[in-house]
Every structure is written in C-alpha cells, then in structure tokens.
Amino acid sequence: MSTALGDCRPNPVRRTASIGYSLGVRGYVSLQMLDMAGRVVRDLAAGVQGPGKHTVTWDGLDSKGRAAAKGIYFYRLSAPGFTGAKKAVVVQ
C-alpha cells in the first residue's frame, strides 16, 4: 500500500466531512485544514501512525471551536515521503 490522500466526503461540506488517507509506512503524520491564504484553520491529525487506511472526521469547526466560514479550503497531508493537498468547499 502506498501513501495517498483521499477525497473529502461530502464535498461540498455542510456540517461534517470525512477525509480518508492511506499510509505505506509508519511515521509522523500531519493533516491540516487550511484557508485560501494558507493559514492553518485546524489540525485534524498529528502524530505517529502505522501503515494502512485512516479516516478523520472534520466537524466544520476551526481550532477555537467556531464554525468555519463558507468558502474554499484546502486539506494537506504530510507523511514520510509524501505531501499532498486537495480542495474542500464549505457551504452553509
């Protein structure tokens, strides 16, 4: 299995969304939700994880517990030998 970033479901996001990813090797993982300016809105996963399939649920909140404004966001996965990002649209 190789490391890969899956899609955000559902997309557009109304309240909550699931983001799946797979890891080919054990290592430190960071999954962040970013705004259009590249600022971190929320850390969704951070720490050492083993290989395999993983899923994180985003509740649509920022790091201070406020609802994310509608608009375009990016989620970025950083893992050993891999960095990738995809787009999520928040509608309310």
> pLDDT, tens digit, for every residue of 53-67?
999 999 999 999 999
The pLDDT value recorded for residue 92 is: 74
Sheet holding 82-90, edge to edge: 40-49, 27-34, 71-79, 82-90
| 8-52 pLDDT tens trace | 999 999 989 999 999 999 999 999 999 999 999 999 999 999 999
62 to 13, 39, 48: CA distances (angstroms): 14, 11, 23
Determine the structural domain holding residue 15 and report its residue range. Answer: 4-90
CA 41 to chain centre: 10
- The pTM assigned to this predicted structure is 0.94
Q: CATH no. for residue 50? A: 2.60.40.4070
**How many domains does the chain divide into?**
1
What mean pLDDT value characterizes the chain? 96
